Amino acid sequence: MRHFSHFALAFQGAFMPVISVTLLPGYAPEVQHRLVQRLAVTARSVIAAADAGTTVFIQEVSTYQRDGKVFTGGGAARPVASEVVMAFLNALGERNLDLAATHLSANFAMTFPDKVQMHTLQELVAWSRPRYQSITKTVEHLDESWRGDGAVVYASGCLSGVFHNGHSFEGIRFIDRFEVVDGKIERQDVWNDLGVLLAKIAAGN
């Protein structure tokens, strides 16, 4: 059960939204913390209110009836999409393909620059093997947003590694866009500056 009510107070020209959420019991404290934090951000994305003036509180009820049915427990909490993405990237970085694959949906698709598309991690390994001796992805920022029935997560940072000719590289920018639905990654789009570096190497720079 999720019942939301909202009202805003005006104090010295500033709006102070107050949001009340009613839940059935069973939600862990960390889930409730995530809910109030995201509701506050959502309110401030629509209303010109300061963070300090935005209030969200939760109250629990033991039971309620709707459409002739009685409910006494809340629904399942969704996984944190950015945590799913980091678990996938960490497993991939450790070359644990079996573990990484547990975070992917059955219809997973991964698209690289030049529209290179893959659907399995084995394809990724085969594609990467002739290109690099080694490559490491360091995530510096994660941004998560909700869209329809899933979340979009942007991971950005730098790549480092070694080409087969022994040329090492580091500080190569990348950004990955993930679509996460029901705790599984359905799509990953990859962009990076490796092409710029390869062009410079080919030109002798």
Q: How many CB atoms lie within 10 A of CB 41?
A: 13
Q: How many CB atoms lie within 10 A of CB 37?
A: 11
Give the fold, CATH level 3, of 2-71: Macrophage Migration Inhibitory Factor (3.30.429)
**CB-based contact 197:169 (threshold 8 Å):** yes
How far apart are the C-alpha atoms of 91 and 68, rounded to whole Å? 47
- Structural domain boundaries of the chain? 2-71, 81-202
Phi then psi for 89, rounded to 5 degrees? -65, -40
Alpha-helix residue ranges (DSSP H) falling in the chain: 29-46, 81-93, 97-101, 121-128, 194-202
**CB-based contact 85:180 (threshold 8 Å):** yes
HSE of 99, CA atoms in CB hemisphere, 13 A: 13
| Coil, strand or helix at 68 | coil
Give the fold, CATH level 3, of 81-202: Nuclear Transport Factor 2; Chain: A, (3.10.450)
pLDDT by residue for the chain (205 residues), tens only, comes to 455 555 555 444 567 889 999 999 889 999 999 999 999 999 888 888 888 889 999 999 999 898 999 888 888 889 999 999 999 999 999 999 999 999 999 999 999 988 899 999 999 999 999 988 999 999 999 999 998 889 999 999 999 999 988 889 999 999 999 999 999 999 999 999 988 888 887 787 6
Q: Would you state the pLDDT for residue 185?
A: 99
Query: Which contacts (CB < 8 Å, 24+ apart) does range 2-10 have?
Result: 4/39, 6/43, 8/47, 8/49
Q: Would you state the pLDDT for residue 1?
A: 46
SS3 content of the chain, % helix, strand, coil (to 5): 30, 50, 25
**CB-based contact 191:114 (threshold 8 Å):** no
| Coil, strand or helix at 113 | helix
The one-letter code for the residue type at 148 is G
| Coil, strand or helix at 27 | coil
